[in-house]
Structure 1
Amino acid sequence: MTEFIGSVWWLIVSLGVLVTFHEFGHYWVARRCGVKVLRFSVGFGRPLWTRRGQDGTEYVVAAIPLGGYVKMLDEREGEVAATELPHAFNRQSVWKRIAIVVAGPLANLLLCVGLLWGMFVIGRPDYAPVVGQASGIAAQAGLQRGDTVLAVGERDTPTWSEVQLALIPAALDHADVPLRVRKASGAEDTRQLRLSRLPASFDERRAVDAIGLTPRHQLVPATIGRVAPQTAAWGVLAEGDRITAIDGAPVASWDDIGPLVQRLGERGGGAMVEVQRGDERLALQVAPRQTRSAQGDTYWALGVASAAVAEPATDAVLRYGPVAALPAALREANHQAGELVAMIGRAFSGRVSVQNTVAGPITIARAANAYAAHGPAWYLSMLAMLSLSLGILNLLPIPILDGGHLLYYLIELVKGSPVSESVMATGQYVGLALIAGLMGLAFYNDIVNNLVR
């Protein structure tokens, strides 16, 4: 219940901020262009709060926080007094109308930069980009435990999140990419990650796992949480023991135990299992026993299970000073804008599943709650990406979106006269159908990704 309330709250806050800035962009430029604004509404439906300003604009907060609008004086929407005709939107020059339409998405882009600046100044806690385990394509590239990923392609990666953000697009494109790494010895080297070898289809949400990379902070400590009765370890190993070596081979994480136990079992006989028990270091004789899984497979086992793992403490921070944060925010916004446009292109071309690219309110709400729980810097970074997405998606040439209106005005510039009312009406129906389809897809993805799985 707490998660549900938190998700709803952060969804309302997020959409409220984004919609307010977007509509304020339209409102501010409209007023500067001499257009009379009748209503500035955050949300749809029944008004919860209303106030009329000295400029005659009615300011409204409505019940459904899934959008908003700015209603301007317009002859196409009602009769306009002769004295107010110069202030009607439809009477403005095409360049003024373009400016008013573009102002909304532009406000979201500016908000994105501002939020990223705030995130960089506050400092986003994260994990160091250190490899914990490499397999598959990552191991073939020569990556090893302890390697620090300094850059993926041309993008510096000061934290593990930056590594992920850089690798996912390359994985989706099956594009080989160089990694600049610093070895545990301190020497720097470049490794070529052959992402073209990825399967034609893989779980796009787990692209880094498909590459074979596990970060150091995700390794499960080799601490015993339970010893099963009547097994090889029963009466020898104990809960709380941290396994440090098996038959002389060092153990750094729980994932190291399985292969070493299999090797020991196939060799036959027992071996010394070294553990840290409190302040003592012990070497205990254990011989694994062959066990049958629920699927009928046989394997060698000690009979121990890992302890519950708490979220590890962060060991890196992505931070800049107030001055350096501004160009960093501009670079990041530009980079993320390019990646978002590329992702839209992948979705339309079928290279990625729309199930993983179109998110609905449930997904956004849960993400907002999760990011907010990690602190203000993480929440600002998510809000910045949402603002950027809102700005760019609104520029798509779909009627009823800002991009659709912009398309009409560009056509008007070329042909020298406005688009006919019938064409605009048809476009509205087409736009409504497209938006309804996208909303339906978003809600379907929400149900499948959050409620069914």
Structure 2
Amino acid sequence: MNFLTTVLAFLLALGPLIIIHELGHYLVARWCGVKVLRFSVGMGRVVWSRRFGKDQTEWALSALPLGGYVKMLDSRDPETAPKDEAELDREFTRQNVWKRIAIVAAGPIANFLLAIGLMAALFMHGVDEPSARLRALSESSVAYAAGVRGGDTVVAVNGNPVASWSDLRWQVLHAAVEKSEARMELRGAHGGTYTATIPQAEVAKLDVEGDVLGKLGLDLWRPQARVDKVLDGGAGQRAGLQPGDVVLRVDGKTVADGIGFIEAVRAAPGRVLAIEVQRAGGTVPLSLTPERDPNGRGMIKVMVAQAPEMVTITSGPFEAVAKGAERTWETSVLTLKMIGKMLTGEASWKNVTGPITIADYAGQTARIGLESYLQFIAFISISLGVMNLLPIPVLDGGHLLYYSLEVLTGRPLPARVGEIAQRAGVGLLFMLMALAVFNDLVRLF
């Protein structure tokens, strides 16, 4: 079932993104007066098609589901060259350079606009996210050494406001890519604010593909270890635990939260634990002996509160659009910086991901909920837009490079140079795809 969910989530994410991208090319081409011969979702052999409209544009589904294209009237290809002199004015290469730039750029721009729209809709609807309140930190952690304390809430990083856990991760991720210090402003659990700075040397060590917050020792705040439900026949019931009990100590050690209590129980299969619980305003000592589960860990058949503190991030229409545009811009810049660092050797090429990893993330976010899935689609849409703008022949960015040179020199790029660049671009693209699939398989196995 999980495999089916992953495949469907991947197709439902990628299919619309390809259609939106190609619609950008199609609509601007029509607006510029260029005749569109075919609009294809997928690459390779056409498996289904229908013709519509005054120009009888062919709308097609092709065999390979990754990608798509818009085929226009174009004299460079005998198959698409005008057959009637009356159509010469509607041929792509006869358009002025600015129209050609607009047609090519329209695809990536459509992806960016979609991302902005999705994020704006989420911000207007209201997104429930874990707050930026921190769990108790290990005294050996980087963040603790910098002065960060558990129970407090991060309100800003390097001067940028933080409203939720995802905001906190985003700002620390940004600092990791920039290899800068992370200056945190925190609101204390008992009032007042203070600043703690994680040194640049520690931030620079972070793997942007990993758990950047966990590596610093930061984790979500959790509520006290309150017993919500006691199941019949379990070790918890035999020990006398009751719904509403709050576990204060285990073997004399203070229990910070529900996760801490669960960890203590799992680490003690078959061993007697002396626990103290708060009940009806008083303290009650109990003796608890966890059973051994099939994995060799302790279990007591008790449900304990462990959900993090949540906040709802909501914005008005104009603010939501502005925030969506800002997040799209920041994600695009971050992606380009990561590509730059990979080219200079500052970041690993292991960060290049392909369809298998994308499909895995699609399935995971779909199982979490619609909001997470839409956020994932927005991120992939941004990535698709950025990657298509890279100056690689075959991609939109390569064509934009040609036309930019034409603007500067006043004449088109020689056909022979274009052909050589196209071949080199295809080779480079296949190498990147092979690397991405290889990284995917390494992650998978």
1:274 maps onto 2:276 in alignment: yes
| Structure 1 ranges of 4+ moved more than 4 A | 198-204, 217-226, 235-242, 246-249, 254-261, 276-281, 302-311
| C-alpha distance in 2 between matches for 1:67 and 1:285 | 62
The answer to whether the aligner puts 1:159 opposite 2:170 as a matched pair is no
Could you say what secondary structure the match of 1:9 adopts? helix
Q: Does 1:144 align with 2:127?
A: no
The 3 A distance-change label for structure 1 pair 349 and 178 is same
Contact 1:174–1:197 (8 Å) recurs in 2: no
Secondary structure of 1:47's aligned partner: strand
Tell me, in whole angstroms, the C-alpha distance in 2 between the residues paired with 1:430 and 1:274: 70
**Closer, same or farther: CA 220–391 of 1 in aligned 2, 3 Å:** farther
1:412 aligned residue = 406
Task: Please name the residue that 2:249 is paired with.
Answer: 245
Q: Report the Cα distance in structure 2 between the residues aligned to 1:224 and 1:203, rounded to whole angstroms.
A: 39
Q: Of 207, 213, 218, which residue of structure 2 is paired with 1:208?
A: 213
From 97, 103, 107, the equivalent of 2:106 is 103
Distance 1:354 1:186, change over 3 A: same
1:5 is matched with which residue? 4
Displacement, 1:246? Answer: 4.4
Indicate the residue corresponding to 2:416 in structure 1: 422
* Alpha carbons 1:127, 1:217 under 8 Å: kept: no
User: Is the CA contact (8 Å cut-off) linking 1:117 and 1:326 kept in structure 2?
Assistant: yes
User: Match of 1:75, SS?
Assistant: coil
| Residues 338 and 203 of structure 1: CA distance in aligned 2, closer, same or farther (over 3 Å) | closer
Structure 2 CA distance for partners of 1:107 and 1:176, relative to 1, 3 Å: same
Which of 397, 419, 437 is equivalent to 2:431? Answer: 437
Q: Which amino acid aligns with 2:46?
A: P
Aligned partners of 1:44 and 1:67 also within 8 Å:
yes
1:225–1:304 CA contact under 8 A, matched in 2: no
**Structure 2 residue 89 is matched with structure 1 residue 86:** yes
Residue in structure 2 matched with residue 344 of structure 1 by the alignment: 339
Paired position in structure 2 for 1:398:
392
SS in 2 for 1:76: coil
Unaligned runs of 5+ in 1: 227-232, 262-269, 287-301
Does the 8 Å contact 1:15/1:65 carry over to 2? no
Q: What is the CA–CA distance in structure 2 between the aligned matches of 1:311 and 1:273, rounded to whole Å? A: 18
CA distance, structure 2, for counterparts of residue 245 and residue 359 of structure 1: 45
1:38-187 equivalent positions in 2, closer than 5 A = 38-54=37-53, 55-78=55-78, 79-81=81-83, 82-135=85-138, 136-187=141-192
Taking only aligned residues, the RMSD between alpha carbons, in angstroms, comes to: 3.6
Q: Which whole-Å CA distance do the structure 2 matches of 1:94 and 1:13 have between them? A: 35
**Equivalent position of 1:289 in the other structure:** none
Do the aligned residues in 2 keep the contact of 1:137 with 1:194 (CA within 8 Å)? no
Partner deviation per Cα, 1:294-351 (whole Å, 9 max, x = no partner): xxxxxxxx98889788983662222213333122212222222222222222222222
Following the alignment from structure 2 to structure 1, what is the Cα–Cα distance between the partners of residues 361 and 309?
A: 19
Give the fraction of aligned pairs with identical amino acids, expressed as a percent. 38
SS at match of 1:118: helix
User: Structure 1 residues 275, 311: closer, same or farther in 2, change over 3 A?
Assistant: closer
Q: Aligned equivalents of 1:242 and 1:415: distance in 2?
A: 75
The CA distance in 1 between the partners of 2:286 and 2:306, in whole Å, is 30
Secondary structure in structure 2 of the residue aligned to 1:133: coil
In the TM superposition, what whole-angstrom CA distance separates every residue of 1:180-223 from its partner, at most 9, and x where no partner exists?
Answer: 11100121222212242357475841221111111114998899
**Contact 2:116 2:324 survives alignment (8 Å):** yes
The DSSP-based 3-state class of the residue aligned with 2:33 is: coil
Q: 1:98 to 1:323 in 2, by over 3 A?
A: closer
Distance 1:186 1:200, change over 3 A: closer
Q: CA deviation at 1:133?
A: 2.5
Paired residues of 2:180 and 2:200 also in contact (CA < 8 A) = yes
Range that drifts further, 49-58 or 66-75: 49-58
With over 3 angstroms needed to count, the CA separation of the structure-2 counterparts of 1:401 and 1:220, relative to structure 1, is farther
Amino acid at match of 1:189: Y
Q: For 2:315, which of 316, 320, 335 is the aligned residue?
A: 320
SS in 2 for 1:38: strand
Asked if the contact 2:177–2:338 (Cα under 8 Å) also holds between the matched residues in 1, the reply is no
TM-score (norm 1): 0.82
Q: Which amino acid aligns with 1:245?
A: R
Question: For 1:6 and 1:358, how far apart are their aligned partners in 2?
Answer: 24
CA distance in 1, matches of 2:124, 2:198: 33
Mapped partners of 1:113, 1:164: distance in 2: 20
* Residue-by-residue CA offset, 1:139-174 (whole Å, 9 max, x unaligned): 012211111111112322211111111112323444
Pair 143,224 (structure 1): closer, same or farther in 2 beyond 3 Å = farther
Bigger mean CA deviation after superposition, 309-318 or 426-435: 309-318
Q: How many residues align?
A: 423
With normalisation by structure 2, the TM-score equals 0.84
SS at match of 1:80: coil
Q: Deviations over 1:377-407 (max 9, x none)?
A: 2222211111111111111110000010111
Residues 223-238 of structure 1: matches in 2 within 5 Å?
none
